[in-house]
Structure 1
Amino acid sequence: MSNILSKKRVLVVGGSSGIGLATAQAASAAGGRVTIASRSAEKLAAAAAQIGNDIETAELDIQNQTDVETFFQRSEPWDHVVISAAKTPSGPVRRLSLNDARAAMDSKFWGAYQVARAVQIVPFGSLTFVSGFLSVRPSATAVLQGAINAALEGLARGLALELSPVRVNAVSPGLVETPLWSGMDAEKRRAMFEGAAGRLPAKRVGQPEDVANAVMFLLTTPFATGSTVRVDGGGAIG
Structure 2
Amino acid sequence: MTGPSATTKYTGQLIDKRVLIVGGTSGIGYAVAEAALEHGARVTIVGKQVPKLEKALAQLSATYPTQTAGSRLQGMARDLGDSPTVESSVQEILQLAAGSGKLQHLVITAADMTPPPPVSEVTAEGLQRTTTIRLMAPLLFAKHLPGFMDCATASSMTLTSGAHAHKPDAGWSVIAAHCGAVESLMKGLAIDLRPLRVNAVAPGAIMTDVVKDILGPFYDQAIQLAKEKSLVASAGAPEQVAQAYLYLMKDTYVTGSVLESNGGMLLA
Paired AA for residue 128 in structure 1: T
TM-score normalised by L of structure 2: 0.83
Q: Which residue of 2 aligns with 1:97?
A: 123
Q: Distance in 2 between matches of 1:187 and 1:144?
A: 24
One of 201, 222, 234 as aligned partner of 2:264: 234
Partner secondary structure for residue 183 of structure 1: helix
Asked if 1:87 corresponds to 2:112, the answer is yes
Structure 2: gaps spanning 5 or more residues = 1-9, 62-66
Q: Which residue of 2 aligns with 1:28?
A: 37
What does 1:8-87 correspond to in 2, within 5 Å? Answer: 8-52=17-61, 53-54=67-68, 55-63=73-81, 64-73=86-95, 75=98, 76-87=101-112
Q: Distance in 2 between matches of 1:61 and 1:91?
A: 21
Q: Which residue of 2 aligns with 1:200?
A: 230
Partner secondary structure for residue 58 of structure 2: helix
Q: Distance in 2 between matches of 1:73 and 1:34?
A: 13
Q: Distance in 2 between matches of 1:175 and 1:60?
A: 27
Percent identity of paired positions between Structure 1 and Structure 2: 31
Q: Distance in 2 between matches of 1:23 and 1:111?
A: 19
Q: Does the 8 Å CA contact 1:2/1:29 hold for their aligned counterparts? A: no
Paired AA for residue 162 in structure 2: G
Report the count of equivalent residues: 238
Instruction: After TM superposition, give the deviation of residue 15 of structure 1 in Å.
Output: 0.4
Partner secondary structure for residue 137 of structure 1: coil
Paired AA for residue 224 in structure 1: V
Instruction: After TM superposition, give the deviation of residue 73 of structure 1 in Å.
Output: 4.8
Taking only aligned residues, the RMSD between alpha carbons, in angstroms, comes to: 1.7
What does 1:146-225 correspond to in 2, within 5 Å? Answer: 146-184=176-214, 186-225=216-255
TM-score normalised by L of structure 1: 0.93
Query: Which structure is larger by alpha-carbon Rg, 1 or 2?
Result: 2
Q: Distance in 2 between matches of 1:197 and 1:115?
A: 36
Q: Which residue of 1 aligns with 2:168?
A: 138
Q: Distance in 1 between matches of 2:231 and 2:181?
A: 27
Q: Distance in 2 between matches of 1:186 and 1:143?
A: 22
Residues 177-229 of structure 1: CA deviation (Å, up to 9, x unaligned) = 01222334644211211222123112100100111000111101011100000
Q: Which residue of 2 aligns with 1:127?
A: 157
Structure 1: gaps spanning 5 or more residues = none
Residues 113-140 of structure 1: CA deviation (Å, up to 9, x unaligned) = 2222222322220000011011111233
Residues 91-134 of structure 1: CA deviation (Å, up to 9, x unaligned) = 22222333222221112111222222222322220000011011
Q: Does the 8 Å CA contact 1:41/1:59 hold for their aligned counterparts? A: yes
Instruction: After TM superposition, give the deviation of residue 88 of structure 1 in Å.
Output: 4.6
Q: Which residue of 1 aligns with 2:138?
A: 112
User: Runs in 1 of length 4+ with deviation above 3 angstroms?
Assistant: 73-76, 184-187
Partner secondary structure for residue 78 of structure 1: coil
